[in-house]
Amino acid sequence: MIPRKQARAVVAGLTAVLALCLYVGWRRTGSQTPTYEAVANWVSSGHPNTPSTETRTPPSYNTSAPRILLVSALYPLGRAKHSHDDYKWWLGNFLSHITTDVYFFAPPVLEQTVQQARSVNRSKDAPFFMKLNTSYESAFSVPPLRGREEAYEEMHGKDREKNMHAPELYAIWNAKPFFLNEAAKEMKERWKREYDYVFWVDAGSFRIDHHYRDWPNPRTVEALFQTPAGPHPISFPLANIPTYRYRSWQEDMGPIDEDISEGSFFGGSPDAIEWYASTFYAYHDHYLSMGYFVGKDQTFINSILLLFPERFHYPLETRPPLTLPVLAARAMRKRVVLLRIYARERGRAAKNGRSVGRMARRVAEALVQRAFGPGWKRPQASAIWPGSKPDARTN
């Protein structure tokens, strides 16, 4: 029997998580029974003048709603945790329901699989668009990772989870910023259209059937990104706040290998995506040259979060309950801490007439202060990346 105090913590956590999910407000149609993974997880899964296919021309945007593009990719692995049939099912859940514009990267061998998954939307009398880019045979074909196969093979031995991962998987994870930036640029150059927001979504995110269509909700996205003047932010879900041992972390100490950020769903404006991609690959090359393990994108994300906190929004990620009650309670207590900070800053924003976007930045400050205590000074960023702008870092 679960102790009363522990039960109260679990109930409070579940209530807070449900409230946050309702606030996010993804637009839905059909059944009113939400799918847990699609609601609570936001979870995990080539070039303008090269082979690609388009499904319908992009719809007219004579609307005041923000224009959103979803970007994803699917590349086969020689050694994978999930089967081809699993990904085929998950891909169908994603592409056959969502009507938001999609830009998808895949090798030629998967072209038919991806097209079939998206074509189901034809029978739903709903506008949809998908650009399928098949010009990259593998993730190692993208410019930032081209020729890195040998280096990735060598660093595989440094992975504390090497029995679960392969160099090809590292490349797929690290190709995400390029794919996101490439999609936004190509849509602007080829279709003469700019999207207000571009989001990465892992191809295996929707693992059970759902009824989301106009996802993510454009108005909710717009509210979250309303910010005062300054650099456009990137939005990443957080699983946890950093532990205190990283209070003295500095840039040259290498990527932060801790469960903090989530790389399965993230995005922002095209300008923000361009900044993030150039910064990501600058630190990828910097850390690789120093001999650090660079196979997991989340470790870079964690480092960049501490180096450039003003560049980020922090939606709070929630996960399915753990099997053991004691572990579930412990996880929920962490979520409750995060949600209380979120709720407090949201209340202050409403009281003072501030935007939700500015509130999200206040949440970032509050999370760091809670993690490291008063007096923490963010580490100095010294790496120089191509295309950096004078406002890329403010001190």
Quote the pLDDT of residue 11: 37
- Residue with the larger pLDDT of the pair 124 and 296: 296
Which range (5-19, 128-142, 191-205, 272-286) has the least confidence?
Answer: 5-19
Q: For the chain, report the end-to-end CA distance as a whole number of angstroms.
A: 52
Q: With 0-12 CB in 10 A as exposed, 13-18 as middle and 19+ as buried, what is 43?
A: buried
Quote the pLDDT of residue 23: 33
Quote the pLDDT of residue 213: 78
- Radius of gyration, CA atoms only, the chain: 21
Q: Evaluate if residue 344 carries a pLDDT over 80.
A: no
Model confidence over 297-321: pLDDT tens digits? Answer: 999 899 998 888 878 876 544 343 3
Task: Check whether the bond before 216 is cis (ω within 30° of 0).
Answer: yes
Q: What is the mean pLDDT of residues 331-346?
A: 43
Q: Evaluate if residue 269 carries a pLDDT over 90.
A: yes
Distances in Å between the alpha carbon of 242 and those of 62, 279, 300, 326, 373?
Answer: 43, 21, 14, 22, 11
pTM here is: 0.73
Q: How far apart are CA 246 and CA 86, in angstroms?
A: 38
Give one word for 127, left, alpha or beta, with left for phi > 0 and alpha for psi -120 to 50.
beta
pLDDT grade for 15, boundaries at 50, 70 and 90 = very low
CA 80 to chain centre: 21
Q: How far apart are CA 71 and CA 101, in angstroms?
A: 9
Q: Evaluate if residue 342 carries a pLDDT over 50.
A: no
Which range (131-135, 232-236, 319-323, 343-347) has the least confidence?
Answer: 319-323
Quote the pLDDT of residue 46: 29
The overall average pLDDT reported for the chain is: 71
Model confidence over 147-195: pLDDT tens digits? Answer: 999 999 999 989 888 878 889 999 999 999 999 999 999 999 988 888 9
Quote the pLDDT of residue 127: 62
Question: What strands, in cross-sheet order, belong to the sheet with 265-268?
Answer: 52-55, 130-133, 101-105, 68-73, 197-201, 265-268, 234-235, 312-313
Q: Report residue 282 as tokens.
A: 């600058």
Quote the pLDDT of residue 310: 78
Quote the pLDDT of residue 375: 79
pLDDT grade for 82, boundaries at 50, 70 and 90 = low
Distances in Å between the alpha carbon of 32 and those of 17, 28, 184, 208, 210?
Answer: 18, 8, 33, 15, 10
- Cβ-proximal residues to 182 (8 Å cutoff; 6+ apart), any chain: 46, 47, 142
